[in-house]
């Protein structure tokens, strides 16, 4: 069955995605509004008694459970909020696999589409992931949900933000095969983004057996499609081979005709090849039909990802505010965020404050800003310096890499 009707209707609202993604520019939600916001629950079934269950309260909480034979009730695998989140459930390759299996089971849940857009917050990048195989699908998923609303850069803004928040490559991730054969992940470094996951080797909360069985079923379901007798017909093999070239998407009509003539009966893949909503849908369908590894043809058809080689730096800015107007800190944060975004260099937001006792009360003495710089650290620091100087704050503010003691000089180039 398709998405829950109530969730589908809520997703069509202009404020849903900013709230769901916890965007800084999302509409303010007062406490009484948050209490009135309905929770939405939807299932993504793969068949075989397996499903992922998403529980959403926009701007508040997103919970992901797994249903599996033998489980008395859905088991939690992760959640995301703005306080005590544990969203690192699966590497990209598992999310892509599950989206394919769900699409093959339910013709209305096309991939890339709502499932990928909603669940990519629970996927992370590790050393085995290649952005060339990933970026086009994430872009296409958000384009299908928010046509024209994702910016005009080389990649959609949602894709870039997901990359910034979920890129755990180079952070010391280590996969372990447990004694019962299940895959667990841990982190042996403090560099970069920290891992927040229930799926660690010592976890007693993650449903390892159910998750492993879900992945096995999804692999078997997609592999069975590639074993269809019609796919060994010479005309089909020839058409498939032509589609495996870098310009293979130009040969999709011929492949669709050959599949139909050979009696291939899977309606999801026939539609994906003959009438795709996006080239990425045809791409994973051809990969499935040809038995290719996930993403191999995506990289061939779409070429290098605009995010390849991208870097990001997370900085903390301590801003003394004692004696300043009450709105000083928020104004600096707003101007700095606007300047970084205009230069396509990152974002800035208030992250906390420091109070000190004074005459029987407490006085605000510092604001702490969380700053994200993308791709060009020197230019980002220069923008921060210019903004701080307009507020006469560059000489008193302190900028550091988050969690590091060394101070980054706030001076303009001479």
- Paired tokens of 215: 């992945």
98, 118, 191, 414 from 282: Cα distances, Å: 17, 21, 38, 53
How far apart are the C-alpha atoms of 5 and 106, rounded to whole Å?
15
**Per-residue model confidence as pLDDT tens digits over 34-90:** 556 689 999 999 999 999 999 999 889 999 999 999 999 999 999 999 888 999 999
Per-residue pLDDT at 364? 87
Per-residue pLDDT at 35? 57
Which of 345, 249, 305 is closest to 129 using CA atoms?
A: 305
**Of 186-195, 281-290, 344-353, minimum mean pLDDT range:** 186-195
Which of 165, 52, 55 is closest to 109 using CA atoms?
A: 52
Q: Do residues 77 and 207 lie in contact, with contact meaning Cβ atoms separated by under 8 Å?
A: yes
CATH architecture of 312-408: 2-Layer Sandwich (3.30)
- Paired tokens of 246: 């870098």
Q: Do residues 169 and 129 lie in contact, with contact meaning Cβ atoms separated by under 8 Å?
A: yes
Degrees to nearest 5, angle at CA 192 with 27 and 202:
100
**Of 64-68, 180-184, 341-345, 356-360, minimum mean pLDDT range:** 356-360
pTM listed for this prediction: 0.89
**Per-residue model confidence as pLDDT tens digits over 100-125:** 999 999 999 999 999 999 999 999 99
Q: Do residues 132 and 299 lie in contact, with contact meaning Cβ atoms separated by under 8 Å?
A: yes
- Show me where the domains of the chain are located: 5-223, 229-302, 312-408
């Amino acid at each position: 069955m398709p998405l829950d009707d109530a969730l589908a209707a809520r997703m069509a609202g202009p404020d849903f995605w900013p709230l769901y993604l916890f965007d800084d520019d999302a509409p303010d939600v007062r406490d009484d509004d948050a209490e009135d916001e309905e929770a939405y629950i939807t299932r993504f079934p793969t068949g075989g008694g397996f499903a992922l269950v998403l529980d959403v309260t926009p701007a508040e909480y997103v919970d992901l459970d797994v249903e599996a034979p033998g489980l008395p009730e859905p088991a939690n695998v992760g959640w995301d909020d703005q306080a005590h989140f544990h969203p690192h459930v699966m590497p990209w390759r598992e999310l892509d696999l599950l989206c394919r299996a769900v699409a093959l089971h339910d013709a209305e849940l096309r991939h890339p589409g709502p499932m990928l857009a909603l669940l990519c917050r629970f996927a992370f990048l590790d050393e085995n992931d290649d952005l060339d195989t990933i970026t086009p699908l994430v872009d296409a998923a958000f384009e299908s949900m928010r046509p024209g609303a994702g910016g005009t850069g080389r990649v959609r803004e949602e894709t870039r933000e997901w990359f910034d928040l979920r890129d755990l490559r180079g952070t010391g991730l280590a996969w372990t095969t447990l004694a019962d054969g299940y895959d667990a992940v841990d982190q042996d470094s403090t560099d970069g983004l920290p891992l927040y996951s229930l799926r660690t080797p010592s976890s007693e909360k993650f449903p390892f057996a159910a998750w492993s069985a879900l992945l096995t079923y999804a692999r078997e379901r997609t592999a069975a499609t590639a074993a269809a007798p019609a796919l060994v017909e010479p005309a089909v093999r020839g058409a498939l081979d032509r589609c495996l070239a870098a310009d293979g998407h130009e040969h999709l009509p011929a492949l669709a005709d050959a599949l139909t003539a050979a009696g291939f009966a899977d309606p999801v893949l026939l539609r994906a090849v003959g009438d795709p909503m996006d080239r990425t849908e045809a791409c994973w369908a051809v990969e499935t039909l040809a038995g290719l590894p996930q993403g191999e043809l995506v990289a061939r058809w779409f070429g290098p990802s605009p995010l390849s080689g991208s870097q990001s730096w997370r900085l903390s800015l301590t801003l003394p505010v004692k004696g300043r107007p009450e709105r000083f800190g928020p104004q600096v944060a707003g101007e700095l965020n606007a300047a970084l975004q205009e230069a396509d260099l990152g974002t800035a937001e208030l992250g906390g404050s420091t109070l000190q006792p004074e005459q029987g009360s407490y006085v605000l003495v510092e604001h702490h800003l969380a700053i994200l710089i993308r791709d060009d650290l020197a230019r980002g620091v220069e923008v921060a310096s210019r903004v701080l100087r307009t507020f006469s704050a560059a000489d008193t503010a302190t900028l550091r890499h988050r969690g590091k003691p060394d101070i980054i000089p706030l001076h303009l180039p001479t």
